[in-house]
Amino acid sequence: MYGLKERLMHEAGYDPLRLGVEVEKHVARGDKRKYYRFRGGRWYGGIATADCVGCNLRCRFCWGWIPRDNYSSYGEFYSPREVYGRLVAIASRRGYRYVRVSGNEPTLAWQHLLELLELFEQDGRYTFILETNGIIIGADKAKARDLAGFKHLHVRVSLKGVNEDEFHRLTGARREFFSLQLKALENLLNEGVSTHPAVMLSFSEPRGVDILKERLREIDKGLADNLEEEYVFLYPHVVELMARTGLKPRVAYSPDGIPGDLV
């Protein structure tokens, strides 16, 4: 049982920026970053993926929560050159034109990420999809400027819910940090970085989606027009996590079914 002080802190939520600083101490070492898997996949029509360790959010539906929560013991350290080599090997073998870092939050080890992007920029054969919750980029517009010079980069900002209250319910983080996700999109557009928003809608009411689109239009009409819908896939470990945290999706999909197979 929580005492009153602990319960109030729990209900208010945590600071993702402070959490990110703490996690980064364990997953970044010099120019190296921790990764736990390298793989190919069907997303984006075929993409080579490096799954990193460590995140600054604690989403209650996360498919990567096991390495996320066990960042001290999970994964091995790789240099940007080593990650580049592994991704290129997968992409060239399978004929992919896209690469990404996924699994947890790629922006935590910022210098490592920039050096990895530079290697792919020099290569020129692949588009790098940066999948991020955007909070670090939203908090520091200089991060968006760092990304502005990469011509083979596209940033996908994954919004955790449609508003502040839903963000808090899905992540446990303080409500005000939802605005940094939106600010990340604004910062990226201001620096001319190719970007679009995605949003987790498994737990959302339709009216909330409409209001989110209005907020996105206030930043740029194209953001609302290109909003990508995300839904929970019912992997056993995701079902376990949602049961622990009391989340019940309105819409979810089987991991074994094709898109559109509703469970």
Distance of CA 239 to the CA centre of its chain: 19
- The answer to whether residue 139 sits within a structural domain is no
Contact between residue 189 and residue 195 where contact means Cβ atoms under 8 Å apart: yes
Q: Is residue 104 predicted with pLDDT exceeding 60?
A: yes
pLDDT band at 163 (very low <50, low <70, confident <90, very high): very high
Q: Is residue 69 predicted with pLDDT exceeding 80?
A: yes
Q: What is the mean pLDDT of the chain?
A: 92
> Domain with 21 in it: what CATH number?
3.20.20.70
- Distance, in Å, from the CA atom of 47 to the CA atom of 63, rounded to the nearest integer, reads 18
- The answer to whether residue 51 sits within a structural domain is yes
Counting the structural domains of the chain, the total is: 1
Q: Is residue 129 predicted with pLDDT exceeding 80?
A: yes
pTM listed for this prediction: 0.91
Maximum alpha-carbon separation in the chain: 57
pLDDT number for residue 262: 29
- The answer to whether residue 62 sits within a structural domain is yes
- The answer to whether residue 70 sits within a structural domain is yes
- The answer to whether residue 96 sits within a structural domain is yes
- The answer to whether residue 179 sits within a structural domain is no
Q: Is residue 2 predicted with pLDDT exceeding 50?
A: no
Contact between residue 198 and residue 228 where contact means Cβ atoms under 8 Å apart: yes
- The answer to whether residue 113 sits within a structural domain is yes
Residue 38 structural domain: 14-132
Q: What does the pLDDT look like over 27-54, one tens digit per residue?
A: 999 999 999 999 999 989 999 999 999 9
- The answer to whether residue 89 sits within a structural domain is yes
Rounded to the nearest 5 degrees, what angle is found at the Cα of 209, between the Cα atoms of 208 and 213? 120
